[in-house]
Each structure stands twice: as C-alpha cells, then as structure tokens.
Amino acid sequence: MDVNTSYKKKMDIQSVNLINVTISEGVGVIEINRPSKLNSLSTEVMSELNQAFDELENASEVKVIILRGAGDKAFAAGADLAELAIANDTFTFMRCMDNYFSTYTKIMELSKPVIAAVNGYAYGGACALAFSCDYVIATKRSKFGQQEINYGFFGGAAFFTKMVGKIKAAEIVMLGETFDAAEAYRLGLINKLVEKEDFEATVKEACDKFMEKSPWALKLIKKTIKLTMDSGLEAATWYEVNSLALCRQTEESRELLKEFIKE
C-alpha cells in the first residue's frame, strides 16, 4: 500500500515528528513515531494522536483508518514511565490517565473502522489502545500486557473485564505479566495473526474489504457495538432495529438489493 502519495502531514513537537499522518487512496494511516523510545505514549503523543483521529474523522476522502507504530520493535510500549514518575500531583496524574481513556473512547466512537496493525510490543496503555480498535492484525512475534501493577498502580481493569470477562481480566491486570499474540488470538482480541512477512499484505487486504462496505452501515454498526458494551443488549437491540431501517433507506442498499434480485 503506497501511503506516501496524495497527502502527507507530519506534526512537529520539539523538532520530533511524534505522529505521522498519511492519506492515500481512501486509507488514513496514523503512525506513532518514537521508535527510539519504543513508541512510548507521552502526554504529547496522546494529544497529537487525538488530533490525528479528529483530522481523519473529518476527512471525507478517508474510509478506513490504520493505527500503527514506527520501527520494527513496537506498536507502542505503553505510557512514558519517565513522565509518569514525575507526575506526583494527584490531578496531574489523573489528567495523564484521562488522556488514555478518552482516546480509547474516541476510537470506538469514530464513524470509520480503525485497524490496529501491531508488530512488536503493545504494553500498558498501548495494549488497551490496540484492542480499542475495531479490527486487530498482529504478527506472531507481538506481545501484550498490562504491567502497571509492577509499578504500584494499575490499568485496564474495567476495560479488560468488559473484553475478556472477570477471571481473565484479573489475571492480566493483577499479575502484570506479558502474553503473546497466540494467547491474545485465543482470547478473541486479535482478528488476524500472521507471519511478519505477510503483515503488510494482510493489512492492505483488510483495508480493501472495509472499503467495499457501506460507510453508513459501518458507522451504525460501530455505534451499536459501543452501545451494547455501555448499556446492554436491550437498549442496543432497539438502536439496531432503528439503524437497520435507516440503512435500508440509502440508495446504496436499494441498488445492491436490486442487483441481488437480478442475479
């Protein structure tokens, strides 16, 4: 996939491109660019990441978004622990944590599908960041984990309880041990588990499949899934029924059904 043509924007912070944003052929790519720090998620990175998602959400030419990390070692190695170490004031630390949770929510509330392309480490805040996306592709060498407990605090307890249930969430968050991509796949957290050499082709294939689908339907599916997670089955089912009726009023749906009948 050529993501270096058509449009490219690099956001400069202290002469370092912490986030690279690229648009090409309907695909928006957000790359976390701190390879020397294993793409760790500083406050500045999270701020720029939020801006990047807003930018691609508002770009009419973008149909699908990829989130990835620069380099060959990490998707992102979690929070910048050096920054957290000096965030001793309670409200400063709370603001740092809120940056993460607001980004997870933003991803789930975007109207466009977001693919997490994970090659390497995805720890702490980056672990939940990847699994907040709609579709996760990971190389077999990738590793995950919520290791905050090893530094005297914790992260992801609520999120992982919702994703994998009470017992497994307790293990992930309380023990702070890493787990490999095969285990993440077994838990249903990964959609595609591939060899490194097949990674880019698999990401492109997923983008192509999403590009073929109705953007209206994708948007409403995302909203239905988020509502189910937040409010339960009854409210989400009511929303889904109404959403289905809206989708059927689109010209795209009418034409596709006409084509099916002709066949």
- More confident of the two residues 177 and 1: 177
Confidence of residue 3 (pLDDT cuts 50, 70, 90): very low
- CB count within 10 Å of CB 248 equals 10
Q: What residue ranges do the domains of the chain occupy?
A: 7-211, 215-262
Lowest model confidence (mean pLDDT) among 207-216, 224-233, 253-262: 253-262
The per-residue pLDDT for range 119-164, each reduced to its tens digit, is 999 999 999 999 999 999 999 999 999 999 998 889 899 999 999 9
67-120 tens-digit pLDDT = 999 999 999 998 787 777 777 778 877 887 788 889 999 999 999 999 999 999
Per-residue pLDDT tens for 228-241? Answer: 988 888 887 877 87
Architecture of domain 7-211: Alpha-Beta Complex (3.90)
Which DSSP string corresponds to the chain?
A: ---SSSEEEEEEETTEEEEEEEEETTEEEEEE--GGGTT-B-HHHHHHHHHHHHHHHS-TT--EEEEEESSSSEEE-SB-HHHHHT--SHHHHHHHHHHHHHHHHHHHH-SS-EEEEE-SEEETHHHHHHHTSSEEEEETT-EEE--GGGGT----HHHHHHHH-HHHHHHHHHH---EEHHHHHHTT--SEEE-GGGHHHHHHHHHHHHHTS-HHHHHHHHHHHHHHHHH-HHHHHHHHHHHHHHHTTSHHHHHHHHHHHH-
